[in-house]
Amino acid sequence: MKKFYNVAILGATGAVGRTMIKVLEERDFPIDQIKLLASPRSAGQELEYYGMKYKVEPVSPEAFEDVDIALFSAGGSTSKQWAPIAVEKGAVVVDNSSAWRMDENVPLVVPEVNPEDVKWHKGIIANPNCSTIQMVVALNPIHKAKKIKRIIVSTYQAVSGAGAKAIKDLEEETRARLEGKYYYPEALPAHIAFNVIPHIDVFQDNLYTKEEMKMVNETRKIMHAPDIKISATCARVPVFNGHSESVTVETEEPITVEEARKLLSEAPGVVVEDDPFNNVYPMPIEVDGKDDVFVGRIREDLAFDNGLSMWVVADNLRKGAATNAVQIAELLIKYDLIKK
């Protein structure tokens, strides 16, 4: 087993890639050499790692030579193209896009929920969708204790989830509107300033969006629970960073609020912030920059006999993307699953 690893980040200049660099630093990930890769558009740009400047390189087959771990966050089609090449060159790929998640040869991993699934990887491990990650971290302890039969979830998703251009859309459109000017959104499907858009990713034949169906299919795969019935509504809200979710579950066994609070406060990666009479509940502004999943508003649901409702908030660029990917890379080291 090596002690230090060569790590490449594909998509290093993006919203997720930049967060990956920070998270690797903060967690003191055992890196020998780091390689920052992107498209030829931003090749030559400089990014900092531990206070040192590194030049961004254009992605190429040679760039993956001697790379042990490749963290990908450059979109689905880029991942489809480059992940097999990186694997062929000897790297293990942790991929943030939706390209490989439902592939039966690819584990889909949230370290707090199904860490052992990394062990059957064949070169690629998929990082789930941001909204799915924070939901399963909060629901897994309840599922283990009381068996979840049904999940109804509505999301309030930040613009950072849709990348650097969507962050710019919110900033510029807010300013434009306050100045009485018009702004045409570049990355989002509708106006985002002072608005809510019930549309994330593309619509499917069943009238749900792809983002909503990711929550259905990925949750079942991660939790090894093919029979859970799930219905999701995903909306974009004018928040820069941090996704919020209203989650209601129906369990096989009855569950009280006290039991749920106890299960959640003992669960790995979860912080319970639930003191409603003192205005304590999680909100995106407060979870920005944090790695945990925050849960509040825990209460018995009034629509189901064995029902529980809660409010779940996390930093989508961290636990929803970069932190989860780096935790997967840490599992690869822990279980000695790096190829060379």
Which residues sit at the interface with ligand 12T, rule CB under 6 A? 97-98, 129-130, 157, 161-162, 200-201, 211, 214
Residue 74 or residue 298: which is nearer to ligand 12T going by CB? 74
Give the chain's end-to-end CA distance (angstroms, integer).
8
Binding test (CB under 6 A) with ligand NAP, winner from 111, 161, 269, 307? 161
143 is catalytic: no
Residue 188 or residue 272: which is nearer to ligand NAP going by CB? 188
Residue 14 or residue 115: which is nearer to ligand NAP going by CB? 14
Residue 185 or residue 307: which is nearer to ligand NAP going by CB? 185
Taking CB within 5 to 8 Å according to partner kind, which of ligand 12T, ligand NAP, none is near residue 200? ligand 12T
Taking CB within 5 to 8 Å according to partner kind, which of ligand NAP, ligand 12T, none is near residue 115? none
Catalytic residue among 121, 143, 234, 243: 243
Query: Residue 180 CB, nearest distance to ligand 12T (Å)?
Result: 29
User: 74-98 as b/e, with b when 16 or more CB fall inside 10 Å?
Assistant: bbeebbeebbebbbebbbbbbbbbb
Binding test (CB under 6 A) with ligand NAP, winner from 36, 38, 124, 153? 38
Q: Considering only 124-132, 246-254, 299-307, 326-334, which stretch makes contact with ligand NAP by CB under 6 A?
A: 124-132
130 is catalytic: yes
Residues designated as active site: 130, 243
